[in-house]
Amino acid sequence: KSSQSVKEVHTVEPRTREDFLQYSCQLTLDPNTAHQHLRLSEGNREVSNVRGKWSYPDHPERFEYWAQVLCREGLSGCCYWEVEWSGNDHISIAVSYKEMSRKGRGNGRGLGCNDKSWGLRCSPFSYSFRHNNKCTETPVPSSSRIGVYLDHRAGTLSFYSISDTMTLLHRVQTTFTQPLYPGFRVGVRSSVKLCDLE
């Protein structure tokens, strides 16, 4: 009879914004992944969907159908970042394994719509967490600034609303097996900006 040992990981999530800022990471959007309707600006720290068609060169990592973009950096430790979003359409704030499929029209290519990505979908009237095409409704915050905390080893991913206080919107507990790349899906006439935390 074989025995199986289970190693428990005990971790304490930061409590205050100052605690979270100790884990802040500098992220940049990867133009090689950006869908042709997405415009990158501010030193590849902001992305907008202006419905124009940008002349990006062909690239195997480019999203072909969904208006999405990933960051250059693959994360595997404790990391924290904040984004500010605007617009009347929805956006998604997500993390993804690099191997997530980029080509084709299938719904499984959307961030949060497969087993290789996790995302918070935000619109002016509804917020929801999505993974593997399963949807969990979350509270709608008053602020459009969202903080994301990843503890890769502990398998936790948390989304916070940032205003005068930090309000937890959703936390997932799972097992991450590869580095995670922050990414965004951006609806028409909407934009997402990576916030400077230093």
Give the residue extent of every domain in the chain. 17-194
> Which DSSP helix (H) or strand (E) runs through 129?
strand 127-131
Q: Inform me whether the pLDDT recorded for 55 exceeds 50.
A: yes
Q: Mean pLDDT across the stretch 41-51?
A: 94
Q: What is the pLDDT of residue 42?
A: 97
Write down the pTM of the prediction.
0.91
Q: Inform me whether the pLDDT recorded for 78 exceeds 50.
A: yes
In whole angstroms, give the CA distance from residue 31 to residue 17: 30
Looking at 12-21, 31-40, 111-120, which range is the least confident one? 12-21
CATH node for 17-194: 2.60.120.920
Q: Mean pLDDT across the stretch 32-51?
A: 95
Q: Inform me whether the pLDDT recorded for 9 exceeds 50.
A: no
50-55 own/partner pairs: CB under 8 Å, 24+ apart: 50/189, 51/188, 51/189
Integer angstrom CA distances of residue 163 from 18, 47, 66, 143:
13, 22, 30, 6
Band the pLDDT of 11: cuts 50, 70, 90.
low
Question: 134-149: per-residue pLDDT in tens?
Answer: 999 998 888 999 999 9
Q: Inform me whether the pLDDT recorded for 37 exceeds 80.
A: yes
Band the pLDDT of 157: cuts 50, 70, 90.
very high
**Bigger pLDDT: 88 vs 146:** 146
Q: Inform me whether the pLDDT recorded for 52 exceeds 50.
A: yes
Q: What is the pLDDT of residue 123?
A: 93
Question: 163-173: per-residue pLDDT in tens?
Answer: 988 999 999 99
